[in-house]
Structure 1
Amino acid sequence: MNYHASKLVQLKAKGNKWYVQVTKPVGLQNGTNKQVRRSAGTTDRKEAERRQHRIADEIYRDFDEKLDRLKPQPAIKFVYDMGPPDPLHAFRPKPVIPKVDPAMLISRIQPQYIKGRPWNRIKTKNGADSHIKEFVSVIGDIEVGVITKKHAYDYARYLDAQGRGNSTIKTRISSVGGMLTWCEQQGHVDNSPLVNLRLKNYGTATEHYEPLDHGELVKLFKQPMEPRERLILSILATTGMRLDEVALLRWEQVKTKAGIVYLDLTDDAIVKTEGSKRMVPLHSGLIMPNRCTGVMFDYLRDRDGKATNDASKACMPFVRAAAGPDPLKVVHSLRGNFKDFLRDLDISKELNDFITGHSSGDSAGDYGRGPSLAIRAAAINQIDIRFLNQPDDA
């Protein structure tokens, strides 16, 4: 069958990646759902063009299979060879046909799981709910006790064909695995099967954000901007903190100890992990506004109390103006810049990770409390921060 020719489309919402797009044949169209897109896994047009033919062939083969299933199948005529009668038929054991327990179907267990376990974030809860429903749409609504690793790999292959990244595939299968672990705790299954899966070859490789180069850093802070954005970007670049950690700061978290001004994330701060609860010294050359009370930044918070989205929307135009349209250079890139600053100063990885919250932190350490505040401050104060273009170094 002749299908529509494929074309390449670039989606800004997907990090400017290129997608191969094909219009579905009429028999497979459903309402406004008339096209299929699959990721080429790259932001480079020439590379996408090299991959376009292979991906389009995969889409066409998928069309063939789906259209074949729509064709009426010829009736099957069964011919039975009864053979001689079995005189012992009435005495032979009858085959046991297992009965489906409707109460153990995924669709029945899922609402109990979503409602029954504690969730740290509404976003995580909603994501798990969506991922499990998608899993059911791929492998069917079966009993939780008959789910196997094969079902997880079938789901991974489906997500791979949709152009999902490897980290996305792992996250979605982890959502299903979380439900099965809960089922194990409730006695619905003996053992959760979705452990020790090998998923590294499924999905596109994760693209890591890149630090800004020195010229882009200088250009970033030379731009006119509101004091709010200048302060948050300056703290990000000189502490290596995560965007949400800074966006949620309260003035009461700015403390002084032995002459060192630092940000205290050890108490009730909203951080990514327990290991992120730490004390982060401020660079002695960073000019801070006069101390106030309450929140340091007035970015809008979502249902989970996070301010990442609003803060990112406010800061990204300045990053774009400095670094151009490169999708791998974003606000989070400043965290990479900070880690590079410490590496270039030959600061140990242990100290680097402790400052940026990649270790056990000040609250979760099992073996002591890590490098002292003075040692952390000494490392940070070695960084040349003239790129901030503050009044004293303008």
Structure 2
Amino acid sequence: MVHRRSIGLGKNYVYQRGGKFIYRRRVPSEVSHLDTRKEVKISLKTHSYQEAVIRSTIYDRQVQKFWNDLIETQSSNNLESRYKKAVRTARANGFSYKSIEELATLDLNEIVERLLVDIDQKEKAEALLGGAGSSKVKLTQCSELYWGLVHDQLVNKSPHQIRKWKNPRKAALDSFISVVGDKYLQQITRKDILSFRSWLNDKLRLGFSPSSANKQMRFVRHIIQQIAISQELEIDFDPLFAKLNFKLSNISRPPFEASYVQNKLLPNLGFLNERDRLVVMAIADTGARISEVFGLRPEDIRLEEDIPFIWIRARKGYELKTESSERKIPLVGTALQAFSNSPGGFNHSGNPDSFSGNVNKRLSNHGLRPTPQHSIYSLRHTFKDRLRDIEAPEEIIDDLMGHKKSGPKYGRGHRLETKLKWLEKIAYRTES
């Protein structure tokens, strides 16, 4: 039995604790104003005294070097850049970078291989022997770092679109932190991911959808993986999240029946204000998304053309849901009436989701939702069913809906005259 006080005092800083050895050294007074720890304690993860001495020697060399560098620079601000440089140098020499904490857990053969490399530069020594420390990024720092890494995905979005893109990702990360704590990225384990999944599973019992739960898992994985890559941390988070998706429900949002919209819904919208009533009418006969209707500028509403139409398109500061969402839709029936009464558009500067929530609530209050699953968005599903019922070609339906077409894109798409021919067959009757 090796006694704690008899081993390495003043030499190797090796102590025994609970059958295992640790490296333990007090922070010298001359550097205590820069390194505020009272002492350095690191598990050597071995029961062998001989291995403990070897690992302790590696630790001590780098701990001492760290203190010397702090005294020389009087700052720790350059440690992050040193770390990243060390990662690249280690790769160039055929090794992955390991901090001294990680190095001490390696097989002795790899440690010996690193020691046998011709270390002719200070940078190479740091890279192979863990002297540059490790990147210290906590989960609470990830949001702000992440936005800078995905700027390309935000550059052409409107302020509302940016909020709608950011908020669920930030909420997912905040939820993850509330479950596992504010950890360093290197500390995240499969057990943490399983705990988060269990928390999401509990939310499913309260009505949270499997699709939303999967999105939260996906958002968290992408955020921490992107941060790890940017910090040159050699961590692959994909295996930690593997095979944890929730099974999706086959229940989809039901459409209204076309006759219900014509005879029940459209004639009884008097409880809505003028703008909201016209928006419902516009959606009914264009099948456009709510955000697309509100995103139209006056120049996108072409009422003076031989065939009046709206042009759903992206612009600077406004992004469509998908590239295939750009399209021209001839105006017929209630849509033509709606835009004729509001030729400049609907000027909704806020959140289109607030329109949806308000209208759905009022439809419920007036008994105009056949089931709780029916919503204003169901009109888009109805629009597609109406086109199918008249046996419109699938290409025409995709073109009008703004759906992605299979195969490569050729040509300019269908002419307005062709699309008008099919839309006139399904147009809702309007008030005389």
Same structural fold, with TM-score higher than 0.5 when normalized by the shorter chain: yes
TM-superposed CA distance for 1:154, in Å, is 3.6
Question: Is the aligned partner of 1:353 residue 2:398?
Answer: yes
Residues 371-386 of structure 1: pairs in structure 2 closer than 5 A: 371-386=414-429
2:210 match: 166
Question: Is the aligned partner of 1:310 residue 2:359?
Answer: no
1:331 match: 376
Q: Distance in 2 between matches of 1:359 and 1:240?
A: 15
Query: Which letter does structure 2 place at the counterpart of 1:194?
Result: D
Q: Distance in 2 between matches of 1:258 and 1:143?
A: 60
- Higher Cα Rg, which structure: 2
Decide whether the 8 Å contact of 1:236 with 1:243 is kept in 2: yes
User: With structure 2 as the length reference, what TM-score do the two structures score?
Assistant: 0.58
The match for 1:105 among 138, 141, 150 is: 138
Q: Distance in 1 between matches of 2:309 and 2:52?
A: 84
- 3-state SS of paired residue (2:141): helix
- 3-state SS of paired residue (1:358): coil
User: Would the alpha carbon gap of residues 241 and 93 (structure 1) be closer, same or farther in structure 2, given more than 3 Å must change?
Assistant: same
State the superposition RMSD in angstroms. 3.8
User: Would the alpha carbon gap of residues 214 and 90 (structure 1) be closer, same or farther in structure 2, given more than 3 Å must change?
Assistant: closer
Query: Which letter does structure 1 place at the counterpart of 2:355?
Result: D
The match for 2:168 among 99, 104, 127 is: 127
Q: Distance in 1 between matches of 2:55 and 2:229?
A: 35
User: Would the alpha carbon gap of residues 158 and 231 (structure 1) be closer, same or farther in structure 2, given more than 3 Å must change?
Assistant: same
Structure 1 unaligned blocks of 5 or more: 1-77, 81-85
The match for 2:223 among 172, 175, 179 is: 179
1:93 match: 54
- 3-state SS of paired residue (1:329): coil
The match for 1:141 among 167, 182, 196 is: 182
User: Would the alpha carbon gap of residues 215 and 347 (structure 1) be closer, same or farther in structure 2, given more than 3 Å must change?
Assistant: closer
2:108 match: none
Decide whether the 8 Å contact of 2:169 with 2:216 is kept in 1: yes
Decide whether the 8 Å contact of 1:351 with 1:376 is kept in 2: yes
Q: Distance in 1 between matches of 2:321 and 2:195?
A: 31
The match for 1:264 among 289, 304, 311 is: 311
Q: Distance in 1 between matches of 2:367 and 2:52?
A: 85
TM-superposed CA distance for 1:90, in Å, is 8.3
Residues 274-313 of structure 1: pairs in structure 2 closer than 5 A: 274-283=323-332, 287-288=336-337, 291=340, 295-299=344-348, 301-302=349-350, 306-310=351-355, 312-313=357-358
Query: Which letter does structure 2 place at the counterpart of 1:201?
Result: F
Decide whether the 8 Å contact of 1:165 with 1:206 is kept in 2: no
Query: Which letter does structure 1 place at the counterpart of 2:54?
Result: P
| 1:77-108 deviation digits (Å, cap 9, x = unpaired) | x997xxxxx99748863477449947233233
| 1:176-221 deviation digits (Å, cap 9, x = unpaired) | 123134225414334652388444435x737422112345312111
Q: Distance in 2 between matches of 1:91 and 1:103?
A: 26
User: Would the alpha carbon gap of residues 317 and 133 (structure 1) be closer, same or farther in structure 2, given more than 3 Å must change?
Assistant: closer
User: Would the alpha carbon gap of residues 373 and 216 (structure 1) be closer, same or farther in structure 2, given more than 3 Å must change?
Assistant: same
Aligned pair count reads: 300
Structure with more helix by fraction: 2
Q: Distance in 2 between matches of 1:87 and 1:190?
A: 29
- 3-state SS of paired residue (1:368): coil
Query: Which letter does structure 1 place at the counterpart of 2:201?
Result: D
Q: Distance in 2 between matches of 1:134 and 1:103?
A: 21
2:28 match: none
1:53 match: none
Decide whether the 8 Å contact of 2:281 with 2:338 is kept in 1: no
TM-superposed CA distance for 1:282, in Å, is 1.4
Identity across matched positions, percent: 21
Query: Which letter does structure 2 place at the counterpart of 1:309?
Result: S
Question: Is the aligned partner of 1:210 residue 2:254?
Answer: yes
Decide whether the 8 Å contact of 1:207 with 1:328 is kept in 2: no
Decide whether the 8 Å contact of 1:247 with 1:308 is kept in 2: no
Residues 44-63 of structure 1: pairs in structure 2 closer than 5 A: none
User: Would the alpha carbon gap of residues 90 and 322 (structure 1) be closer, same or farther in structure 2, given more than 3 Å must change?
Assistant: closer
Decide whether the 8 Å contact of 2:294 with 2:346 is kept in 1: yes
1:18 match: none
Q: Distance in 1 between matches of 2:18 and 2:226?
A: 49
- 3-state SS of paired residue (1:385): coil
TM-superposed CA distance for 1:290, in Å, is 7.7
1:247 match: 294
Decide whether the 8 Å contact of 1:211 with 1:334 is kept in 2: yes
Query: Which letter does structure 2 place at the counterpart of 1:167?
Result: S
TM-superposed CA distance for 1:236, in Å, is 0.9
TM-superposed CA distance for 1:292, in Å, is 7.8
User: Would the alpha carbon gap of residues 371 and 153 (structure 1) be closer, same or farther in structure 2, given more than 3 Å must change?
Assistant: farther
User: With structure 1 as the length reference, what TM-score do the two structures score?
Assistant: 0.63
